[in-house]
Amino acid sequence: MSLSHPNLANWRPPEDYQPVSSQVEGVSVYAPAPKEKPHTDLPVTYACPNCGASTRFDVAAGGVACEHCGYTTAVHSERVGRRAAEFEFTLETLSLAQQGWGLARRELHCDHCGAVLAVPENAMTATCPFCASNKVNLRAAPAEQLRPGFLIAFNVQMDTIRRRAAEWLAKGWFHPSDLASAVVVDRFNGVYLPFWTFDSAITARWSAEVGYERTERYYDAGSKDWKTRVVIDWRHETGQVDLSIDDLLVSGTTHASRAILERLNPFQLNDLQTYTPDCLAGWQALTYDVTLPAAWEQGKAVIREQAREACYADIPTQHVRNFKMTADLADETWRYILLPVYLAAYQYQGKVYQLMANGQTGTIAGQKPVAWWKVWLAIAALLAPGVLLGLIGLPLLAVGGVGLVPLVIGAVALVAGGVFSYQIYRKAVESEAA
């Protein structure tokens, strides 16, 4: 007994399907072919097809260009913005992410001139010191997901950065007056730095005793008079706050100051584009050395505080005690990206200071020396009125009641001066800190 059936010889798998291994005899299996990612994770050497000279990504041209003959080719990348694919925290990925990038240092055989060069730790790119050819993708990621999938290309030219750096050095009254003239920062290194971005939906539930102020009248037996006073009624309350964290940035490298990097924010993640080695040609790029789990811990610390602030904002009064909360994180996702940063260092009076620039927006941030005598002078000037009024008021108070007025004004001036002084001091310390 036989029934008609489709002729298997004529069967064709759907378009873009490819055979995969089958675990059952007599059954063939086809799956969609992975989206083509040609050569994005293979070592690439950039050389001009016209003249053989080295080529590099040119910010002004927006493509890979040859400085020698002017040959330019466009970068093959798609702008995806915040739609860039995100990944879940699968146990498999977390396990692979713990493994890091393998060898700390390896030797590379230059396929352009044959020289052997050493590639430093975490470097994704290199330039051969003998033939000046630019090489990209020198590190193999432990997993497909853990190689950079997206980046923002350098968008600001070096000249602009130099000019803005000079302007930045000249700004600020509590820095040495000769800083802008004494320091010339002309050597910036464009580096693609690794960053992790995190998303999460958070449901935060809080419980606390919340105090509500109430004015009441009472009889003061001492003065034998009715008076008013403010009392606080405490009530146990609960609440829920829903938060959404979108693209929280956490640095993936320990080679650049986190504090300074934070001051470079924001990066416009709407300009994220798919990773292409073309953008890295002739530029430095680092792989992450802060692993995904470690970065996520840093990210969670930020998220927790945001959730706590949101819960406090949900409470209608300032009087809170016995505050407790839980934050349930859901739909946590991450992605690994490269962001453009210019790095520089300069010396002033024998001390080295770091300087960074956002390669996308041109924002400058870094360490700046402080003329501490200016700071102390300013603080003294701010505190002086209060102290002086106090000194005047005290003897006058001893003589007669007139001294009370300058004493009160002096106290107010002293408090205000103290607040301003503290802010100036804090800014000065931050300015020098890395």
Partner 1 sequence: MNAPDLPATELTEAVESLWGAPLQPAGCPVCKAVYLVPVQWLGRACPHCLRGRLEAQPAWLRREPPELLAPFRVQRGQLEGILAEFTRGVWLHPDDFTPRSLLQRAMPVFWPMWLVDAGLVGDWEAETGYEYQVKSSQESFVDGAWHTREQVEARLRWEPRAGTLERRYENVSVPAVGDHPALTLQTGAYRPDQAVRYDPTQVGPAALRVPDIQPESAWPQAQTALKQAAAEDCRKAAGAQQVRNFAIRAGYENLHWTQMLLPMYVTFYTDDAGQPQVILVNGQTGRAGGPRLASQRKGWRVAGILAGVALLLLVSGLLMATLGALIPPVAALGALLAGLAFLVGAAALVPAIWPWAYNRGRGNPARSDQAIGGRK
Please report, as ranges, the residues that interact with partner 1 according to CB under 8 A: 1-6, 8, 11, 13-14, 17, 20-32, 88-92, 94, 300-301, 303-304, 307-308, 323-330, 332
The DSSP letter of residue 39 is T
Buried b (16+ CB within 10 A) or exposed e, 233-251: eeeebeeebebebebbbbb
Question: Which two tokens mark 102?
Answer: 């393998």
How many alpha carbons fall within 13 Å on the CB side of residue 68?
12
How wide is the angle at C-alpha 324 spanned by C-alphas 321 and 326, nearest 5°?
Answer: 160
Contacts for 58 with CB less than 8 Å, ≥ 6 apart:
64, 65, 72
Residue linked to tokens 């958070």: 202
Cα 241 to Cα 7, 50, 298, 326: the distances in Å are 60, 61, 22, 10
Q: Min. distance of Cβ 2 from partner 1 in angstroms?
A: 5
Nearer of residues 82 and 308 to partner 1, judged by Cβ: 308
Q: Min. distance of Cβ 150 from partner 1 in angstroms?
A: 21
Nearer of residues 71 and 89 to partner 1, judged by Cβ: 89
Nearer of residues 272 and 329 to partner 1, judged by Cβ: 329
Q: Min. distance of Cβ 258 from partner 1 in angstroms?
A: 20
Nearer of residues 268 and 326 to partner 1, judged by Cβ: 326
Question: Which two tokens mark 304?
Answer: 């927790």
Nearer of residues 28 and 423 to partner 1, judged by Cβ: 28
The DSSP bridge partners found for residue 210 are 235, 320
Separation of alpha carbons 176 and 348, rounded Å: 10
Separation of alpha carbons 205 and 311, rounded Å: 8
Nearer of residues 9 and 230 to partner 1, judged by Cβ: 9
Nearer of residues 324 and 426 to partner 1, judged by Cβ: 324
Longest dimension (CA), the chain: 127
How many alpha carbons fall within 13 Å on the CB side of residue 402?
5
Strand, coil or helix: what is 272?
A: coil
How many alpha carbons fall within 13 Å on the CB side of residue 177?
2
